[in-house]
Amino acid sequence: MAEKNKIMEKIVSLCKRRGFIYQGSEIYGGLGGTYSCGPLGAELKNNIKQLWWKKFVQDRSDIVGMDGPILLHPKLWEASGHTAGFRDALVDCKECKKRFRADHLVADALGQDLEGQNEQMSELIKKEKIKCPNCGKTNWTAVQDFNLMFKTQINSIEEDVYLRPETAGAIFIEFKNILDSTRMTLPFGIAQIGKAFRNEIVAGHFIFRLREFEMMEIEYFIHPQTDWPPLFENWLKQQEEFIMELGARKEDLRRFEHPKEKLSHYSRKTVDIEYKFPFGFKELFGLAHRGDFDLTQHSKFSNEKLEYFDQEKNERFIPHILEPTFGVERSLLVAILSAYTEEEVAGEKRIVLKFPKHIAPVKVAILPLSKKEELTRPAQEIFDNLKSEFVCQYDETQSIGKRYRRQDEIGTPYCVTYDFDSLDDKSVTVRDRDTMKQDRLKIPELKDYLKEKFTE
């Protein structure tokens, strides 16, 4: 376990050192559960979102995209049950003032799952003298519910509004607009990528549990009589396929089906895809059969009929929904964890991020062997020639060996070196990140060579 925690420490430190991810508001002492992406993190995150959008929206004729607002009408959250029910139970240590999730405290101490049973948890915490994980004392408040939505105000209306705790709501309320404006026919999906906010009691594990995060979600609408289990299985496979396209290994994935008695009353089936993080198997993605709950509720609360009309059969009904959900930051974390490699090369340690080439934040580095102008000028010309095709980095400082290591550490698949021989033979050396093999080729052939490498 110590070794595994070390890996998280190494990743956190690499992410900061090389400009992938920083703690949010760091110079002010940090703001828990938030983070910033640095230059490379922003590239990597964009690549992940673009890959998702291409795979699930642009490459499919049965799914369309949308982009809804973060601020949504407060009635939406009444209809969805979030205003009343989106809660976690918390308990405070009166000694050190630390706050914990009561169900996690009880589960960790006694191995019992009493989520939702606040009185029993209050009693048990006292009776079993469960110790505060922070200070070791046993002086607890009663267990209380705590709504996880962030409240805010809009000047012109009296009611509180909320920062959305999930993106799905924005999709349900545009169901009719999208049907009317696109003529999609069942089965079809609506996809969205966007931020969501949850006032988590305990955030943590780097970017695993955040208070502000991004989700990639699809609401897939089906006829209520559809034979849905094969579709459900297919969605799970596609979710697994997506994370493997980011570099995850199949053996680090497993499925967890929520037991029937823990399901929301409307859900027929819910499965989490879990990933073997260094801190244990944890939820990565989710898939739920939500029945007709959402559209029915929003029809009721809005008085707008959110139905589907089948012209051929002259039939009107509320479709059922399959909902695959993907976390952006968890995908980002898995991509970095899967890529992280330490190797021995000629007696030296080499750290490499072996990203699949298509998501690497920098695709090609251009490195003149020395800072002499006779080399830097032509090297810059190569950079200018390649930059419209690939995300490139030009680097002329320090020894070539150090520059290779720097590019390895950020996962750049190819380094192009312009040396003194290049002046005569008009050729450059291309070094492969993973094999460290070097190819010598003529400069005019470089672009096509790299293009081919990236489509392999």
Q: Which residues of this protein are in contact with Zn ion, per CB under 5 A?
A: 93, 95-96, 132, 134-135
Residue 244 identity (one-letter amino acid): M
> Closest separation between CB of residue 95 and Zn ion, Å?
5
H helix intervals, 145-253: 168-172, 175-182, 228-245
> Closest separation between CB of residue 42 and Zn ion, Å?
38
Output 55 or 98, the one with its CB closest to Zn ion. 98
Going by their DSSP bridges, the two strands 438-442 and 427-432 should be labelled as antiparallel
Output 49 or 99, the one with its CB closest to Zn ion. 99
Output 92 or 294, the one with its CB closest to Zn ion. 92
Number of residues that this document lists for the chain: 456
Output 13 or 139, the one with its CB closest to Zn ion. 139
> Closest separation between CB of residue 134 and Zn ion, Å?
4
Peptide bond into 324 cis (omega under 30): no
Output 126 or 195, the one with its CB closest to Zn ion. 126
Output 73 or 131, the one with its CB closest to Zn ion. 131
Nearest to 106 by CA among 80, 140, 67: 140
Output 25 or 134, the one with its CB closest to Zn ion. 134
> Closest separation between CB of residue 93 and Zn ion, Å?
3
Distances from the Cα of 175 to the Cαs of 214, 245, 304, 307, 431, in angstroms? Answer: 21, 30, 11, 9, 50
> Closest separation between CB of residue 210 and Zn ion, Å?
24
Q: Which residues are paired to 254 by β-bridges? A: 274
Report the alpha-carbon distance of residue 320 to residue 325 in Å, rounded: 16
Give the start-end residues of each E strand in 158-211: 160-163, 188-197
> Closest separation between CB of residue 100 and Zn ion, Å?
9
Report the alpha-carbon distance of residue 45 to residue 33 in Å, rounded: 18
3-state secondary structure of 258: coil
> Closest separation between CB of residue 91 and Zn ion, Å?
11
> Closest separation between CB of residue 132 and Zn ion, Å?
3
Output 140 or 285, the one with its CB closest to Zn ion. 140
Q: Which are the contacts of 156, defined by CB distance < 8 A and separation ≥ 6?
A: none
Q: Which two tokens stand for residue 372?
A: 């002499």
Report the alpha-carbon distance of residue 215 to residue 327 in Å, rounded: 5
Q: Which two tokens stand for residue 324?
A: 């695959």
Decide: 4 and 279 in contact? Cβ < 8 Å. Answer: yes
